[in-house]
Amino acid sequence: NTTIDLAGRIPQDTVIVSESGIRTSADVAKLRRAGINAFLIGESLMRCEDPAAMLKELINGGDCGVAPVPRHDEGSASRSEK
């Protein structure tokens, strides 16, 4: 939630990287909907039994997809209204 809270303070032409607390595809999807551009996922991958499978799930699971979400979409607008 910290990344999403801070994202509204970051200029629109800046790439935002979320760096902590990403454990599930739902986490990735939530961040993508908020206009977050990239993700640093370390501990969750290091602790799981099958990092490759987990990475596939993070990328393809839920509604997160693989294409980047532009920051000027509806996710950005709703973020700035908070």
Tens-place pLDDT, residues 3-60: 999 998 999 889 999 988 888 888 998 998 998 989 998 888 888 888 888 888 888 8
pLDDT tens, residue by residue, 48-74: 888 888 888 888 874 444 444 444 444
User: pTM value?
Assistant: 0.66
Whole-angstrom Cα distance, residue 46 to residue 33?
26
| Best CA proximity match to 42, nearest among 29, 17, 23, 14 | 23
Nearest to 22 by CA among 3, 36, 41: 41
